[in-house]
Amino acid sequence: MEEQHILFWEKQRFTQFWLWALLLGLAAILLAGFVYQVLLGGTFGNRPVSDVQLSIMAALIGFGLPFFFYWMTLITEVKPGILQVRFRPFHLKPVRILLHTVRDFEKVMYDPIREYGGWGIRWGAKGKAYSMSGREGVLLRFYNQQPLLIGSKRAGELFAAIEQAKAQGKGIAD
């Protein structure tokens, strides 16, 4: 089987400063508490937990949570006739959108908080959204389902690639 030509590929991560400040600040507090209580023998807080509980919390929240947010990625790929989106770790396989099912699409500016309730995999009054950061994306409208917004830092390129892929995919049958 011949590999299809990739027209667009983008990998996004959470880049919001406030999010990383919050995550790393929380991690720093827990790790400082771990060092103070477990390694130096003090008590962390007014109602300290056991050393084992604090160790588990420090591992999960101090290391695990920032790593989890770093590991989260949105990968968007456009090939002739196909748009694939994978929001790792929530999608084990990419969500495959056959472009012949797309009625129309447009490059949009959107408000992630007001329109979809934030970033990530979101559902709102305007349909479903996959977004990591920013306010730009491509809104897909389908013949038989709710609209889907794909957030992108390169929304113009994504729009052009979808346009090209839709045209090239007219003869491709799956």
Distance of alpha carbon 43 from alpha carbon 124, whole angstroms:
45
Closest CA to 128 of 85, 172, 89: 85
Q: What per-residue confidence (pLDDT) applies to 152? A: 96
Cβ(97)–Cβ(87) under 8 Å?
no
End-to-end Cα distance, the chain: 13
- The stretch 152-169 carries a mean pLDDT of 93
Q: What is the pTM of this model?
A: 0.81
What is the rounded CA–CA span in Å between residue 29 and residue 120? 26
**What's the chain's average pLDDT?**
90
| 149 and 65 fall within a common domain | no
pLDDT of residue 44: 84
3 within domain boundaries:
no
Among 71, 105, 120, identify where a domain stops. 71
Judgement on whether residues 136 and 155 belong to the same structural domain of the protein: yes
One domain, residues 78 and 120: yes
pLDDT given for residue 86 in this prediction: 96
Number of domains in the chain: 2
Q: Say how far apart CA 55 and CA 62 lie, in whole Å.
A: 10
Q: 24-81 pLDDT, tens per residue?
A: 999 999 999 999 998 988 888 888 889 999 999 999 999 999 999 999 999 999 999 9
pLDDT given at position 173: 46
Condensed to tens digits (0 to 9), the pLDDT of residues 78-118 reads 999 999 999 999 999 999 999 999 999 999 999 988 899 88
Residue 6 within any structural domain of the chain: no
So what's the pLDDT on residue 1?
39
Q: Which structural domain range is residue 41 located in? A: 13-71
Please report, for residues 7, 22, 153, the alpha-carbon distance to residue 147 in angstroms, rounded to integers and kept in the order given. Answer: 22, 32, 20
